[in-house]
Structure 1
């Protein structure tokens, strides 16, 4: 049976992967790596495009 995904368009900038972790090369005292978590600027970490605002034209 197919799984149903939400019918929301994916962000063009991040392709639905809005959060990335970048290693800094340094380590904490317990040996784990120090990471920077960065959000996509276009979708603010949601992974989806925001719906366009409706604009009325004419009368």
Structure 2
């Protein structure tokens, strides 16, 4: 049975829809796990979508 999907929102061009990522620092914790930093996309503020901007054009006479 086909699944219904909603119209896709405009994906952020800076993060390509991956607004939060975990980056390893290369160091290890005492228990052996890696130390990570969670970073949020500054352009979309963690939503993954970009706002559409309406462009106004001026029409001359």
Relative to structure 1, the CA distance from residue 6 to residue 39 in structure 2 (aligned partners, 3 Å threshold; closer, same or farther) is farther
Bigger Cα Rg: 2
The equivalent residue for 1:7 is 8
User: Displacement of 1:2 after TM fit?
Assistant: 3.1
TM-score w.r.t. length of structure 1: 0.73
Structure 2 gap segments, 5+ residues each: 57-61
Alignment partner of 1:21: what SS? Answer: strand
User: Displacement of 1:51 after TM fit?
Assistant: 4.4
Structure 1 gap segments, 5+ residues each: none
TM-score w.r.t. length of structure 2: 0.71
Relative to structure 1, the CA distance from residue 5 to residue 16 in structure 2 (aligned partners, 3 Å threshold; closer, same or farther) is farther
Matched, 1:30 2:31: yes
Provide the C-alpha distance between the structure 2 equivalents of 1:6 and 1:35, rounded to a whole number of angstroms.
34
